[in-house]
């Protein structure tokens, strides 16, 4: 299972990197979203994917619980990445309004600013 997950996470990072290196702002945001999915899965996998019980105390059945700590960490991470993604989205929207383009090429400083 961990091997499969590792391959999957690797592919997600690959796709995310490819999208982040695009010219279009929206593809970049899609890339960051995939990147955060990949990171969440990575944390979960590294915590161990043993099939125990869900971390609820009165669940009957299987002998052991799954590790609750990575779950708490991922929950925090999901919320934070949602906040950042929402901010990025509105930023891209506003950038498009001001610059009439969604290409990152337009966000480069003017040549004359360098000198």
Partner 1 sequence: MSFLHLAIFLPFLMAMLIPIFYRWTNQLHTGWIVLPIPVILFIYFLTFIPQTMQGVVTETMPWIPSLGINFTVVVDGLSLLFALLITGIGSLVTFYSIFYLGKKKERLNNFYAFLFIFMTAMLGVVLSDNLVVLYLFWEMTSISSFLLIGYWYHRERSRYGARKSLLITVFGGLMLLGGILLLHVITGSFSLREIIGEASVVQASSLFIPAMILILLGAFTKSAQVPFHVWLPDAMEAPTPVSAYLHSATMVKAGLYLVARFTPLFAVSGVWFWTISLVGIVTLFWGSITATKKQDLKAILAYSTISQLGMIMTLLGVGAAALHYDSWSDDIYIGALVAAVFHLFNHATFKGSLFMMVGIVDHETGTRDIKRLGGLMRIMPITATIAFIGTFAMAGLPPFNGFLSKEMFFQSMVDVTTLNLFNADTWGILLPVIAWVGSIFTFVYSMIIFFKTFGGKLKPHLLPKKPHEAPLGLLLPPLILSALVVITGLFPNLIAKPLLEPAVKSIMPSLYGTDYHVHISFWHGFTMALLMTFGVIILGILLYKTANWWRPFIKEKVPRFFQWGKAYDNSMYYMEQGSYRFTLWIMTGWLRTYLNYMLMAFIILMLGTIFATDALNFDISTISRVTMMDYVLALVIVVTLVGVVFSKSRITSIILLGAMGYTISIFFIVARAPDLALTQLVIETISVVLYLLVFYHLPQFSNIEEKPKWLSVKTLISFGVGLVVFLISLSAYDTTFYDSISQYYIDNTYTKAAGKNIVNVILVDFRGFDTLFETVVLAVASIGIFGMVKLRLARREKNENK
DSSP, collapsed to helix, strand or coil, labels residue 100 as: coil
Regarding 14 and contact with partner 1 (CB under 8 A), the answer is yes
Regarding 21 and contact with partner 1 (CB under 8 A), the answer is yes
Binding mask 48-87 for partner 1 (x = CB under 8 A): xxxxxxxxxxx------xxxxx-xx-xxx-xxx-xxxxxx
Measured CA to CA, the distance from residue 13 to residue 44 in angstroms comes to: 15
Work out which of 32, 91, 99, 112 binds partner 1, going by CB under 8 A.
91
Measured CA to CA, the distance from residue 68 to residue 72 in angstroms comes to: 6
Measured CA to CA, the distance from residue 23 to residue 97 in angstroms comes to: 17
Work out which of 42, 60, 63, 99 binds partner 1, going by CB under 8 A.
42
């Amino acid at each position: 299972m961990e091997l499969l997950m590792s391959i999957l996470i690797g592919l997600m990072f690959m796709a995310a990197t490819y999208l982040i290196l695009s010219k279009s702002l929206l593809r970049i945001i899609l890339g960051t979203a995939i990147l955060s999915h990949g990171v969440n899965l990575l944390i979960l996998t590294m915590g161990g994917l043993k099939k125990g019980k869900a971390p609820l105390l009165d669940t009957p059945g299987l002998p052991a619980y799954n590790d609750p700590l990575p779950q708490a960490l991922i929950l925090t991470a999901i919320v934070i990445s949602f906040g950042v993604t929402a901010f990025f989205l509105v930023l891209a929207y506003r950038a498009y309004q001001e610059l009439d383009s969604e290409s990152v090429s337009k966000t480069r400083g003017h040549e004359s600013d360098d000198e």
